Structure 1
Amino acid sequence: MIRAVMIWAAVLFWTVVGLTAAAQAQNSFGQAPQPQQQNQQKQGYQAPQQNNSRQGYPQQGQQGFGQPNAMEPQQQGGRGPLDQLAAMERRDFGVPPTARLHAGPMHGPTPASIPGGQLITTKGLVELLRGRQMPVLVLDVLGGQDMIPGAQFAVPAHQAGSFNDQVQQQFGQFLQGATGGNKEYPLVLYCLSPQCWMSYNAALRAINLGYTNVLWYRGGIESWRQSGQPTQPVPQPGYQ
């Protein structure tokens, strides 16, 4: 009887540890641990090689990421599935845009635009990632079961608070390392859908940190899946 109780207690302990660590894996900044890295410390984001001349990055006032509709490919012919999806992703729920962090429920109708940033649709994001003419940092602010391939975790950045809190400081440190301090580095932030405020808050935090090419992917992972784009499962650390 005593042996059975001890075994049950051990199982319960490691279950709690596993669930806690899995949550931490999605609630910290940086790269999710890969399957072959199980039982090892989670690696942080490795920034790509920086171009010291910063060639290829649009300057302020030029046509580029900071300009409205810059990331929307020119439509050729009739409206395709991605055009129809874009119309849904741009749907106006009548919620006015705000430069303040959203402190209410994180799942609900969002504004159709974001001050200081740019809304990017699935069509624009597909073209952006397909071209890869410059490095792009895609940030997963949801922490769900799957993610856009190559995305990095930025789940804590969704939190309400202020632009002077600890979350802002940690997010700034993460972005500093991930972008090499280049404030023109393109950032794509996404969560679940047009009815998810998490990536909106994270985008506002990035904008407040001085990043000039902040792309809010309002459609989120739901639109990405709906368009038939590939995803990758979020790997979780293993425990004995």
Structure 2
Amino acid sequence: MKRVFMATMGAILGAGLLAAGPAAAVDEPAGYRMDGYRSPTPAGLSGATTVDTAAARTLIEGGQAIPINVMKLDRSTLPGGPWIMAKPFHQIPGSVWLPGVGVGDPGPEMTAWFARHLARLTGGDTGRGVLFYCLADCWMSWNAAKRALSLGYTRVYWYPLGSDGWMEAGLPTEEGRPLPFD
């Protein structure tokens, strides 16, 4: 009886998994993603190297890429516009958090801020590895990596699983501190 029940449950679960199938592939757009940032992303980004968790870890631990967290935050309307953090956010250790640089059209001030910090982080070396991430199914990191390519960076890595994939792998995190917008 138990064997029949297990076989039946296995068949039901298997049918459900097969019926659901893999998520539909998303085509890589020509421009930036302008809205709906938390949705399925393309399999890759032309000009960049798409990496999984193991490759991201190897690049970061080997010092071959600077991890850049691009999770979006809102800014206060107070003078200096500090970032508003409703709760702590965990990121990959050693990351630099540049909030908002992954929106479709960040505007000239934010784009200049992004370019300045990339130049500072890489010592002006556009061949220095930079690894962009956000959360899983988030276009922010895809947009930021694409923007880094447009700024002339040649060793751009995109980690689409982001901090979600990092934590699912049981890897350590640290509390993120966004860089101030200056």
For normalisation by structure 1, the TM-score amounts to 0.55
* CA deviation map 1:5-61 (0-9, x unaligned): xxxxxxxxxxxxxxxxxxxxxxxxxxxxxxxxxxxxxxxxxxxxxxxxxxxxxxxxx
CA deviations 1:70-109 (Å, max 9, x no partner) are xxxxxxxxxxxxxxxxxxxxx7631111241111211001
Root-mean-square deviation over aligned CA pairs: 2.0
In 1, distance between residues paired with 2:154 and 2:30? 15
User: Match for residue 140 of structure 1?
Assistant: 69
Q: What amino acid sits opposite 1:106 in the alignment?
A: Y
Letter of the 2:67 counterpart: V
What CA distance in whole angstroms lies between the structure 1 residues aligned with 2:67 and 2:54?
15
Letter in 1 for 2:153: Y
| 3-state DSSP of counterpart to 1:189 | strand
**Structure 2 CA distance for aligned equivalents of residues 190 and 158 of structure 1:** 10
Deviation at residue 170 of structure 1 after TM alignment: 1.7
With over 3 angstroms needed to count, the CA separation of the structure-2 counterparts of 1:235 and 1:160, relative to structure 1, is: closer
Task: Please tell me whether the aligned partners of residues 192 and 219 of structure 1 are also in contact (alpha carbons under 8 angstroms).
Answer: yes
CA distance in 2, matches of 1:190, 1:93: 22
Residues 60 and 67 of structure 2 are in contact (CA less than 8 Å); yes or no, is this contact kept in structure 1? Answer: no
**Equivalent residue for 2:47, pick from 103, 116, 128:** 116
| CA distance in structure 1 between the aligned counterparts of 2:118 and 2:177, rounded to whole angstroms | 22
CA contact (8 A) 2:133 2:160 kept: yes
Change beyond 3 A, Cα 1:93–1:187: farther
User: Which residue of 2 is the match for residue 103 of structure 1?
Assistant: 34
Distance change in 2, residues 1:131/1:95 (3 Å): same
Q: Output the CA distance in 2 between the equivalents of 1:225 and 1:104.
A: 26
| SS in structure 1 at match of 2:147 | helix
Q: Once the two structures are superposed, what CA deviation does each residue of 1:119-167 show, in whole Å capped at 9, x if it has no partner?
A: 01101112223333x4x211011166111001001112112227x7332
Residue in structure 1 matching 2:141, options 161, 186, 199: 199
1:196 corresponds to which letter in structure 2?
C
Aligned length in residues: 142
Match of 1:216 in 2: 158
Q: Secondary structure at the residue paired with 2:166?
A: helix
**1: CA distance, partners of 2:102 / 2:162:** 14
Report the counterpart of residue 114 of structure 2 in structure 1: 171
Q: Secondary structure at the match of 2:101?
A: helix
Q: What are the ranges of 5 or more consecutive residues in structure 1 without an aligned counterpart?
A: 1-90
Write out the 4+ residue segments of structure 1 that deviate beyond 6 Å after TM superposition: none
The AA in structure 2 aligned to 1:153 is W
Higher strand share: 2
Q: Which residue of 1 aligns with 2:125?
A: 182
**3-state SS of the aligned residue for 1:158?**
coil
Q: What does residue range 25-104 of structure 1 map to in structure 2 within 5 Å?
A: 93-104=24-35
